Amino acid sequence: MSTRWYAAATQPASEMYAMENLINQAYEAFLPLVSRTVKRRRRLISETIALFPGYIFIKFDQEIDRWRSINGTRGIRRLLTTNAETPMAIEPGVIERLILQSRNGGFEEIAGTIVRNFKPGSKLQITDGPFKDQEGHCIEADILNVTVFLSLLGREVRVSVPVSYVSSAA
């Protein structure tokens, strides 16, 4: 088997802590970050948060590396696994595209985007970003983001994306 990317759930708000501990154990880890502007106390403040809160990506060879130790890493809750308790590999190219995007300016949420009329349950198409060309169903929408159910990694995943990355599916 070859080296693949896997996802791990982190302790609440511990993505950076988990990343440091994985690197200390000589694992290759990736934590995509997003820059966003929020309004606090009548001021616009820029902050950096995890693109996928509560998750981090780790690259290892399931047959060679001692991957079970990842579950005991500080900041990590557990590796995402199949029913057979083996780590569930992420499709080839997905994390590589995220890494490339992060190197080419990263991810950014911009305040003041025009609100579109996305109704809960409506079918949507992601037109930009790491989930480009994915289709899903709208859960809710506000001025900045649309929350969408996407089918990723064999599961229905709740994802929040900027409204500028979404259009109504035909």
The 10s digit of each residue's pLDDT in 44-62 is 787 888 888 999 999 999 9
Residues paired with 56 in a beta bridge: 8
Structure tokens at 157: 């995943």
Hey, what domains does the chain have and what are their CATH numbers? 4-108 (3.30.70.940), 112-168 (2.30.30.30)
Q: What is the reported pLDDT for 9?
A: 96
Region of residue 154 (left: phi > 0; alpha: psi -120 to 50; beta: else): left
Q: What is the spatial distance between Cα 13 and Cα 163, in angstroms, rounded to a whole number?
A: 25
- Judged against a pLDDT cut of 70, whether residue 105 lies above it is answered with no
Residue at token pair 């995509």: 32
The pLDDT of residue 108: 55
70 half-sphere exposure, CB direction, 13 A CA radius = 29
